[in-house]
Each structure stands twice: as structure tokens, then as C-alpha cells.
Amino acid sequence: MKKYRVYQVDSFTKSVFHGNSAGVVLNADGLSDSQMQQIARELNNSETAFIFTSDSPEYDIEVRFFTPTTEVPICGHATIAAHYVRAMENKIISGRVIQKTKSGILPVDIICEGDDISIVMTQGKPFVGKDLGENLRQRIARGLNIKLNDICEEYPVAIASTGHSKVMIPLRSIEILNSLKPNEALLTEISKEIGCNGFYTFTLGPNEEVLVNGRMFAPAIGISEDPVTGNANGPLGAYLVHYGIHQKETEDTFDFKIIQGEAIGRAGTMNVHVAKENRKPILVQITGSAIVAFQTEIVL
């Protein structure tokens, strides 16, 4: 029997009950895959992160991520949560941690300023696909229960990824965004066909402090709606750079702020940084804060 330290953490916010909640198991050594899946189902967050000690000089820790129904290669808000808890518990001052994930070995930077802890997650290699085409655009509109012309026709609907792919769906207004009531069965059907489980809907406000308002749906992996999604907004940054949307071609970087989760009362924010080369994305980072809502122990 072993006691496992379990945390409920709200990411991309400094206020409890806002942002995106994630479970974190700080000392996961010894847990089986089935036990991790059971814990993730019990906590019932969109993702739970499990931290393992390293057995290699190539990385400092290993982190695995489970939704209530399946393991996923990486998760943005659960990465922020995991490293926030680890920094807080181990009294880590600013520095870099190398983590092994199912998406590869990636750096995470801890920035401590007084009592504030910010986590900078470097995501995987950016990928942006081609426009999915008119037929899929029409079916995705039906899956979101909106009209085809509610999707911005001047921008592509395309898959983007920095480790865990999402479909990028630009909408014409915040009113349309906030009114979405998706057909989960149809979105799940589309996910299986295109090999992508998340649908990120967003609006752009290029003259505002906050560029992006978004909502993310992934019913194929048991997530009706994810409040604030690192692995949607990072790929969104790659998508915007790839297609040259709302940025200056002469600049080597693209930085913007997002708000997500307002429609479901879980608003949170993050900053996205994209490095460019020859006007294409080569590196994506997201930065966010977190706060512990509660902690407990499970004996298994």
C-alpha cells in the first residue's frame, strides 16, 4: 500500500474555480496504467497529470496524461498544473525542467517572481495542414449546430498540432461563439474520420488587447468542452503564422493573449509565443499561472 499525493489545480488563472482544472499526482511511481485511468476517471477533470521520477540523464521527470476515458500524448493545462505543483512543493526558484512525454522530450521553464509562479511550456514541433475542404467545412458547421456562413470563409478550416492536434475553426462573432451547442455524436464521427479529436472554435479581435476568444470541444475523448486549452491555443498560434493571419511578415516572433472558458463560467488566460523562420512557425510556447484548489491522498 502506498499514499499518492493528489492535487486539484486550476490552470491559466490565479483564482480558484476559474480556468481549467487538472488533477496532478505528484508521486506516481508504482501506479499501473489501469490505476492511472481509474484515478483520472474518479477526479473527472478533462486531464490528470502523473509525475514519475526519471530513470535517464536525458530528462528530469516523466509526465503522463489521462482524460477520464483514455491516455493522451500531452496536455497544456495539465502541464502547467503539474509543474506549478512541483515548483511549489519543492520550493523551486526559477529554472528549466526537462520532461519526457508521449509527444517527446520537451523543456518547461519556471519563472518565480515573489509569490507568483508562471510556467512556460515549450510545445512540440508545429504542424499545420491544408484547408479541409468544403464538404468537411459543411459537416463541421452542422456538428457545431451553426450555419456554414457563421464560419469565416476568408480563413481556412485546418488541422494544426504542436503535439496533440486540433481543428482550427474561425467564427464570425463572439455571439456565435458563445451560443454554440454542438452535436457531440456528429463531432465524434468526424473525429474518427479525420484522426483529430479536438475542435477549436475562435474569434479574432486584432485591435484588442486580447486577440483570441475561444472554445474547444473534444467529445471523441470524453471532453464535452475544455475550459482553457494549451494544446489548442499553441497550435492556433502556428496556424495564424502559417497562414499569415493578423501579423507583420517582417517580425521574427508573434505574441498574443487569449481568453477561453467565458461561456461556461471558467474564464482563463494565457500568452502564446511563436518563433518564425521564413514566415513559418518553428517554435511555440505558452505561458500561464495556476492555483491549487485542494489536495488530498489516495491509498492504493
Q: List residues with catalytic annotation.
A: 47
**Helices within 8-128 (DSSP H only):** 33-43, 76-89
Q: Is 236 helix (H, G, I), strand (E, B) or coil?
A: helix
User: What are φ and ψ of residue 28, in 5° steps?
Assistant: -85, -5
* Integer angstrom CA distances of residue 147 from 70, 153, 200: 32, 12, 17
Q: Which residue from 261, 224, 260, 259 is spatially nearest to 44, judged by alpha carbons?
A: 224
Taking a C-beta distance cutoff of 8 angstroms, is the pair 47, 216 a contact? no
User: What are φ and ψ of residue 264, in 5° steps?
Assistant: -115, 20
End-to-end CA separation in angstroms for the chain:
5
